[in-house]
Amino acid sequence: MSFRDSTVIIIETGRTVIRAGLGLHDLLKPPTVEISARVGLRKSAFTNGAEVNGKTNISDDPLASTSRASSLPQNAQRNAAVKDYLVGAQLDEALATDPDIAISWPFADNDVRDWTQAEAIWKYVLFNQLQRRRVQNESPVLLTVPPGLSRDTHERICQIFFERFNVAGLSILERPVGQLYAANSLSGVVVDIGHEKTDITPIYDGFIVHSARTSTSVGIRDCLNYLAYLLRSNQSVMTAISPPEAPLDANAVHSTLLELVNQVWKEGHVKVPSDGETAVVEEEVTDIAAVIVAGKERALIESGMKKRATKNASAAEQQRAREIEALDLITVQFKGLSLTLGKERHRFCEPLFDPTLLRGIPISDSLPKSAAEMSLSLQEAVGLAVAQTEVDQRQYIWGGLFVTGDLTQHVKGIGIALQSRLAPFIANAELQTDVQPRSLRVLNLPEYFPEYRDTGNGFAAFLGASIVAKITFNDSGGKNFVSKADYTAKGPRSVIEMAPALL
């Protein structure tokens, strides 16, 4: 059987974020739902939870993995039901009035820590955000999951979606594979920069090389702390947020600086210089057809008028503009203040490439500073991961370096910066053999997806899942998804037959 595109649901499951959307369109659209991958439970509802020092020992759960353990909290309550957990806007509203709520991140270890919590999140997305009805659920679901999940985990997911959510069909896609598909490639290495970890996944011919997967304990959180620490040297900023007549305490200053940094990078004021010369920016060529398709004619006209006005400015004004550009100053509005920042903001991503810079920097999160300091740099982790693949696969894997994650939505140039630092990890180019890697190519989302042009590579997993879903659920003779008939006949094990990686 095949399904109507308008009924298909995409759910992207990440360590810290869940994205979803209903319907596949001619122009594939970004997700309409985005929530934090966390749940909350009022502590008053606890009866005999297994909480220990703010965390739960999850090693007694045979389906949970601690090999890539996260520092994000996990509070398991064995007697809690799905309806007891707060998710999304419900949780945000509850935290605003009742801080006595235990927060859990069930997917933070790139596995499923707690099945009840996972079900609560998926249920909220399906029935609260996407307004599906369980009794008459005609929607098939394509679910992206972390790589390397066990057969038991796949079967448990299949059971939940058919028996608890009554979906019309289910297909499961490993997240890094979807990310690479979105970049129009079958082989490469996916570098997914998350909030507290960065996952590196080599892929060859559409299959993950699981033995070579690795993670580093440095992510966006460390970049935020690092730049907040550097901004302490900016006297104008410090005087504005903590005036001498009403100074803030150290914790308040750090929290305020973190808010400022979070705003700065999300507004796109951060660039990443490459290791050596900055990449040459190609001359801009306007694609009129793409502009019309994307509905941005007005923005293009306004941009052209601004350029003409600048061109007609006096020589003195142009000289002043060049001086400001050389200083690279920006002014941001923050909590009613006008703050001027300089080039120090472009050092935001430095901890990714040199974790030793984090030494001595106060980190308020529960992760010990030493864990980040001792972590491999991004280029070392990528080089190590690719080195663990088969020799004859490496030239194809190096031919597709794809940097993704939430950071890439607002910070440009990370792929080029990483490419320039990876040169030493490619074998000697003078050794001309059939399996010798000769170049390292940076991938990005293709320009022919107009709806994704302003999102960087951050939505790659969702885009890749949409592409796969459009093929999967329109192939009536294919075995790439589990139908209700399949589930009725074979039960949860039917999901194994449509997952080649599990066979």
Hey, is 69 helix, strand or coil?
A: coil
Hey, is 224 helix, strand or coil?
A: helix
* Residues 68 and 125 occupy one common structural domain: yes
Hey, is 82 helix, strand or coil?
A: helix
- The total domain count for the chain is 2
Q: What is the pLDDT of residue 291?
A: 53
Residue 209 included in any domain = no
* Residues 35 and 96 occupy one common structural domain: yes
Rounded CA gap, 171 and 482, in Å?
6
Rounded CA gap, 378 and 384, in Å?
10
Q: Across the chain, how many H-helices and E-strands are there?
A: 18, 19
* Residues 27 and 75 occupy one common structural domain: yes
Label residue 433 left, alpha or beta by phi (over 0 means left) and psi (-120 to 50 means alpha). beta
* Residues 9 and 144 occupy one common structural domain: yes
Q: Which domain holds residue 473?
A: 5-183+450-502
Q: What is the pLDDT of residue 172?
A: 95
* Residues 348 and 484 occupy one common structural domain: no
Rounded CA gap, 98 and 92, in Å?
10
Residue 419 included in any domain = no
Cβ count near 469 (within 10 Å)? 25
Instruction: List, in sequence order, every beta strand (DSSP E) within 23-69.
Output: 33-36, 39-42, 51-52, 55-56
* Residues 168 and 262 occupy one common structural domain: no
* Residues 264 and 130 occupy one common structural domain: no
* Residues 177 and 229 occupy one common structural domain: no
Q: Residue 227: which CATH number?
A: 3.90.640
From residue 451, alpha-carbon distances to 18, 27, 299, 313, 357 in Å are 19, 7, 15, 35, 37
* Residues 256 and 119 occupy one common structural domain: no
Task: Single out the residue in 329, 358, 387 at which a domain terminates.
Answer: 358
Q: What is the pLDDT of residue 462?
A: 97
Measured CA angle at 108 (ends 102, 110), to 5 deg: 150
* Residues 158 and 240 occupy one common structural domain: no
The pLDDT tens digits along the chain (503 residues) read 678 888 999 999 999 999 999 999 888 899 999 999 999 998 876 654 444 334 444 333 333 333 356 788 888 888 889 999 999 999 999 999 888 899 999 999 999 999 999 999 999 999 999 999 988 889 999 999 999 999 999 999 999 999 999 999 999 999 999 999 999 999 999 999 999 999 999 999 999 999 999 999 999 999 999 999 999 998 999 999 999 998 888 889 999 999 999 999 999 999 988 765 433 333 344 455 555 556 666 666 667 666 666 666 666 666 666 655 566 788 999 999 999 898 899 999 999 999 999 887 765 443 444 555 568 899 999 999 999 999 999 999 999 999 999 999 999 889 999 999 998 888 655 556 666 677 789 999 999 898 998 888 999 999 999 999 999 988 766 678 999 999 999 999 999 987 766 65
Residue 196 included in any domain = no
Q: What is the pLDDT of residue 98?
A: 84
Q: What is the pLDDT of residue 136?
A: 84
Rounded CA gap, 181 and 132, in Å?
28
Hey, is 92 helix, strand or coil?
A: helix
Q: What is the pLDDT of residue 310?
A: 62
Q: What is the pLDDT of residue 282?
A: 35
Q: Residue 466: which CATH number?
A: 3.30.420.40
SS (H, E, C) 243-288: CCCCCCCHHHHHHHHHHHHHHHHHCCCCECCCCCCCCCCCCCCCCH
* Residues 150 and 90 occupy one common structural domain: yes
Tally the residues of the chain: 503
Nearest to 333 by CA among 283, 397, 263, 276: 263
Hey, is 354 helix, strand or coil?
A: coil
* Residues 241 and 122 occupy one common structural domain: no
Instruction: List, in sequence order, every beta strand (DSSP E) within 401-503.
Output: 401-405, 442-443, 482-483
Rounded CA gap, 418 and 400, in Å?
12
Q: Which amino acid is at 355?
A: P
Q: What is the pLDDT of residue 99?
A: 81
Is residue 11 a contact partner of residue 31, using CB atoms and an 8 Å limit? no
Rounded CA gap, 109 and 212, in Å?
17
Residue 20 included in any domain = yes
Residue linked to tokens 């011919």: 205
